[in-house]
Chain A
């Protein structure tokens, strides 16, 4: 089934859909411009704006459900942005509204959580301002009806991510991580920008409707080029290989930021981009789609391997995020069958990863901001709510039967298996590793003996933090079944991204699913042997070559440093030297030459009247002589 036509603005809530973006933007403006005056109520105001935006999103969702499936794509034009190039407009369809619900829903929970988490921070108001700014930009990204407006949101979330990673900017590591995230993202944005240029020159428009309608007429090469460049953009934003290196450093930001931006929403924007452009540029066969799946599988393995070796709880979870987004990318590269699984996994991942991150934040909150899991242990009795919600998130992510991850991840693995057995088996292996590293996190944190630092008194977090955890845990548990059973989500999403005419049947405990489960069990069991039963050393053991390899993020940073940073620094120094000595040197050299020769000529002016007189006589004699010579000729 092909995607449906984009119909006109139906009015109602969809007609004022821009409120979804405007409300958090207003929140950001008030909090950031209001200054200290808004310190008292700023955090409540920020929460309120996101909640209001959530309400608008829910109402728009309800309105969409009221239309027949073929009439669920609605364009809402707002104003002329760049005349002749792009308009500012919204496309409200099942895909974008799903995202809007996720962003505002999970976003609101994380906002509420942050009230508690950031309560001791003097700059809490600024934090909420940035969070609101992020939500607005993210909503613009997913609701935009053309690539240029999407790009505005795309860079907007990049800015918010920069500001929030560097929120504790007085820490040099945080400032560096923020800058790194922005710069690496810009490399991806460069790809997206070029893709937009090709799209505009090929199709004469950047609006989704027009581009997708005309894409069939373009040459294979153009489509592949656009696809690969879009993928480059997606890789930057979604921390996929080869632009993955910024995500682990991004954990320098406050934990709610890691949950909202670097787990649940922003990093999935790349998947959104691929799925949104899927019908035109990633149809499931062809080079671009193949590369998407390869990138997805490579990243899901790389992320999982990195996750196994990290002792920093947030970095272990960040590795996991990379890996899970790898699954989504893989699915997105599989064509219409995969799109629904990609987005479904994206949504459930949004819930359980936010749940896990906020759980980790709750643990850190009770442990004096300690992030090293080797200094945790035995926390389950001290923070029971955090423990139980964390375990639900954990079971969801490893694909424990009937929890969310089981449905969505298995869907991806089975689809991949049908598409290409190698991809499928690699994805299964990834699931096994997931079982290992997530179990490791749980065992090191909540089980075993206490390895706390002196003076640490673990305690459960306040209700404002635990309630969001509980709500997210409920989502983590049930959402997968709700979306996948009866292909509910695939049918809903069909009008927006297209779907296979024959809906896949859901096999409970298919052979592939059983194999996956078995591998996950092996992984979890191995983790139990190593970190549950055995004592966890407080100081990390040296480990084998492989451990070092994983600890150093598969030498990603070393590679970047050797390939780009060092030559770049060298080039910069060379360029500065060339500019001072070469270009400017040439100019100054010319000036110096003229100055020097005039200095020598100046010596002729002795100041003696008689020598001047002599030169006048000599000159006159020469002139006279010359005149005679010329006269005689």
Chain B
């Protein structure tokens, strides 16, 4: 079964169909139905994946531009699979959560939902692509629906945020394009297929230049400090659902790219750059957390916490240990659910009060206990409380990093203290204390919103105690990646360097 093409095809056709539905309500229902179908198909596909089989499964390869060796080649390994699963689960939740988000937009409601499905097709494509050129195409094409979702349906400063997002991403993307073409030319293999390009570039200097081209694009996408300033604007101005997909899935392409492309295609250069990347990651962890503490806007605060979390992910990837890299891959999924829940609940809160400023709230717990309770659980997952899924991944990342780089891991671990401050302080200011006049009579979550939050929180808790199913899928793929990185140099040399 060409599973991956079916997934993309269903979402893309769904997008086309939704775009022509005249009735808004029908458009929403159709989008929900399509995204649910994609989710079910993805789950069926995941079940059929055999973790200890071939690295890339469900592979399809067709010539696209034979003259330049460009293929339509899709396949998944464990890491890509869990990320596709993440996207497929998040989209229906986001659709349900965005039920009313598009109504105040500049364009029609059905366009918004159609864009959502287009984005879903591309998200699946970008994780599934095993042709570097195809990956690049999806990498850039994803910007288009997101640009319109922010620019046409966002908050007051949406144009500024959307353009900033677009320019930042395009800048990185163009650097990557240069590197992609150079990779094709220098490797001289006449193909863009990823598996054939592993180990194709041997000259260290060339590796470094190409690595930089890829890495900067991914660092902007992820985003890593100091390339992060587009994220708070974009996330704060985007409608909540789009913000979830932006931070939860799109940004993961950056860290996924580091793990997949930077490490495997340019192992020498990756090791050369490790000290710098780890330093940037650690700075990001601490800096993102400290700036988050000082935010006055709920959505910007969550965006800065994500910058801190992306520091963890990048640190784990570049630690290049089994625990670190597998922890990072798991972190990408967990962060998607946890921050997704946080953004969506914050979105519900903001929708009710019409303000994103923390100071406009207070004592919400009294009037809307379910809203407050779910917000707390989502927040606690943001501070990686054990028993909730992000803990497992954060623990693995820190442990995996500690094994080779003790000091960065210890500095990174201070993030757990800072996380407690930014989450609980925000919670206290919004939910605790005497009920503010402006939130008197605020309605609690309605049943649609409970259906949005419930599955996410259930996932967060279940994966917090039973991460094994995901890790069993992730671990073999990561092992392969780590093997490909270390095969060029004795593994002991890497370990020694760290100590």
Contacts and interface: CB of A to CB of B under 8 A. Distances in A.
A and B touch in the complex (CB under 8 A): yes
Interface string A585-620: 001000100000000000000000000000000000
Shortest beta-carbon contacts, A-B, top 5? A175-B432, A576-B294, A584-B229, A152-B386, A197-B402
Contact of B398 (A148, A197, A575): A197
A207 to B, nearest CB: 15
A83 B399 contact: no
Contact of A175 (B386, B433, B465): B433
Contact of A170 (B293, B380, B391, B432): B432
Nearest to A582: B226
A84 interface: yes
A572 B293 contact: yes
A587 B229 contact: yes
Binding site secondary structure of chain A = helix
Contacts of A182: 420, 424
Contacts of B237: none
Nearest to B290: A575
Nearest to A576: B294
Contacts of A166: 432
Interface residues of B, number: 56
A190 B419 CA distance: 12
Nearest to B228: A583
Contact of B294 (A154, A170, A186, A573): A573
B416 A193 contact: yes
B468 interface: yes
Nearest to B421: A183
Nearest to A163: B376
B265 interface: no
B467 to A, nearest CB: 6
Contacts of B396: 82, 85
B67 interface: no
B287 interface: yes
Interface in A32-53: 32, 35
B468 A576 contact: no
B428 interface: yes
B395 A82 contact: yes
Given A85-B399, A200-B399, A201-B402, A583 B229 contact: yes
A285 interface: no
Interface stretch (B89-97, B189-197, B248-256, B407-415): B407-415
Contact of B434 (A32, A170, A179, A193): A170
A579 interface: yes
A298 B417 CA distance: 25
Given A84-B323, A183-B420, A148 B433 contact: no
A193 B413 contact: yes
A83 B420 contact: no
A210 interface: no
Contacts of B410: 194
Q: Indicate the member of B164, B294, B322, B392 with the most A CB atoms within 10 Å.
A: B294
Contacts of B295: 576
Interface string A191-214: 001101110110000000000000
B386 A186 contact: no
Given A80-B468, A575-B291, A579-B291, 7 more contacts: A152-B391, A170-B432, A170-B433, A183-B421, A187-B417, A194-B413, A591-B167
A571 B398 contact: no
A172 interface: yes
Interface string A238-264: 000000000000000000000000000
B472 interface: yes
B287 A575 contact: yes
A503 B226 CA distance: 63
